[in-house]
Amino acid sequence: MRTPIPAERLQKLQALREKGVDPYPRLFEGAEPIGGFRDRIVDGAMVPVRAAGRITAIRGHGKAAFLDLKDRSGKIQVYFKKDTLGDALYEVYQLLDLGDFIGVDGEVAKTRTGEPTVFAKSFTLLSKSLQPLPAKWHGLKDVQIRYRKRYLDLVSSDDVPKIFLRRADVIREIRAFLDGRGFIEVETPVLHSIAGGATARPFVTHHNALDMDLFMRIALELHLKRLLVGGLERVYEIGRVFRNEGIDATHNPEFTMLEAYQAFTDFTGMMELCETLFANLAKKYFGESRRVPYGELELDFTPPFPRRTYRDLLREHAKVDLEDHEGVKRVAREMKIDVAGLDHYAIANEIFEEAVEPTLLHPTFVTEHPVAICPLAKTKASDPTIAERFELFIAHKELANAFSELNDPIDQEERFRKQVASGSDEVPKEVDVDYVVALEHGLPPAGGIGIGIDRLVMLLTNSHNIREVVLFPLLRRQEGEGPIEVEGEE
């Protein structure tokens, strides 16, 4: 629901205008980050500074006041004194509220209690806030408001901004890492005429001028591999993908994927890349031990990560061999897995997800998946039923997925045809002939990897819901929310 503007704020706004104060002026240049002020203090001297930020507290003392001023870099106390500011400015001060932005000119020094303080000589109102901020101490707990009005969440919490600063840093590190290995960053279409590269229900949209239905991409894969055909050799994209599926603690309908493809290597090259990247990130944020705290857990990112085969893990945790068709059926029955319409390997994969994934705590590479569940992966030279693929599991979740890219156009077309024939609404309705034709022109042998950035950031920020690492997670539109209806001009 929309909250009306409190009458007192409107009255203050009016009073400011009557005093000739512009509540929304245009410029305030030359302010320095508040976080650096503490270090500028010289004992016994007044050091001139200019600051700009939001008022987060006001402690009035008769004809003087202490304010807390906050910018992105930190917070500092500001001292207003009537004698120093003069009567006119002091009257403006009396019309300030928590939440207002002001610019301050003054001198920084310590008070007698040792608190770094800007002793203001003058100040400028930079933006009048008409809505109150959430309470100072308990902060904002209502997740509906936190996610819908993320700006309030960011203002009233010290921890939330840190999560998003780290998210930005993680992405910066990934770019630097890949750029350093000779990858080039590219952008490929979000709107696809065939939503391929993964198994998921797509969002559908429509282009009016072309009168054409389009799908929001569910993966970056097929366009990036076209670029390998074009000779770019090492490409990556960090981009949003969209999957029209359930929402929960680890799934948002739009999420950020990194996909990288490298010519003339295979999935083992991607494994080295992935391991180095993850270990580097853990070292950057958690030191040489590379132990990542996650809830009650401590995840050990020290390389090399264990390599386990799909088949071994299945044997170990489900007590059944991948190729024992009867045994797999029996175990599925025992685990009460609904096997209707599933083939042998799909059933086995259900068992894997149920019995094995919950055991995969520390970073673990799972390899040698059955090729039947990997439509875009090359098979192992020594065994055509096994895919050259790995998945990296951490804290029970799949963080990365990589394989040796299938580059045999005839095999690829055959696998696409089987997918389409399955009639599932999680695979395209038609074969992506355009992609197959690209392969016909020659895709060099290549390794490719996909990494879920949101989940990675969750691990590295000790966040347990994907919404904590997505600035504006998708929520249902609330009653009374949204644009104000305005009479249109005919």
Residues 112-131 that bind RNA (CB under 7 A): 112-115, 117, 119
Q: Is 343 in the site for RNA (CB under 7 A)?
A: no
The CB-of-172 to RNA minimum distance in angstroms stands at 21
The CB-of-180 to RNA minimum distance in angstroms stands at 26
Q: Is 420 in the site for RNA (CB under 7 A)?
A: no
Q: How far apart are CA 133 and CA 157, in angstroms?
A: 11
Q: Is 475 in the site for RNA (CB under 7 A)?
A: yes
The CB-of-138 to RNA minimum distance in angstroms stands at 3
Residues 72-91 that bind RNA (CB under 7 A): 77, 79, 81-83
Tell how far CA 376 is from the center of its chain.
26
The CB-of-83 to RNA minimum distance in angstroms stands at 4
* Binding test (CB under 7 A) with RNA, winner from 22, 158, 179, 248: 248
Per-residue contact flags (x/-) with RNA for residues 442 to 461, judged by CB under 7 A: ----------x-xx------
Whose CA is closest to 387, among 399, 414, 405?
A: 405
Q: How far apart are CA 278 and CA 64, in angstroms?
A: 53
Stretch that binds RNA, among 158-166, 297-305, 431-439, 465-473 (CB under 7 A): 465-473
Stretch that binds RNA, among 274-282, 364-372, 397-405, 437-445 (CB under 7 A): 397-405
Q: How far apart are CA 227 and CA 448, in angstroms?
A: 12
Q: Is 390 in the site for RNA (CB under 7 A)?
A: no
The CB-of-66 to RNA minimum distance in angstroms stands at 3
Q: Is 163 in the site for RNA (CB under 7 A)?
A: no
The CB-of-310 to RNA minimum distance in angstroms stands at 15
Residue with tokens 């299945």: 314
Of 111 and 289, nearer to RNA (C-beta) is 111
Q: Is 398 in the site for RNA (CB under 7 A)?
A: yes
CA distances to 220, 243, 346, 459, 486 from 207, rounded to whole Å, are 21, 19, 36, 38, 27
Size of the site for RNA (CB under 7 A): 73
Q: Is 47 in the site for RNA (CB under 7 A)?
A: no
The CB-of-201 to RNA minimum distance in angstroms stands at 7
Q: Is 111 in the site for RNA (CB under 7 A)?
A: yes
Residues 166-205 that bind RNA (CB under 7 A): 198-200
The pair of three-digit structure tokens given for residue 379, joined into one six-digit string: 């098979």
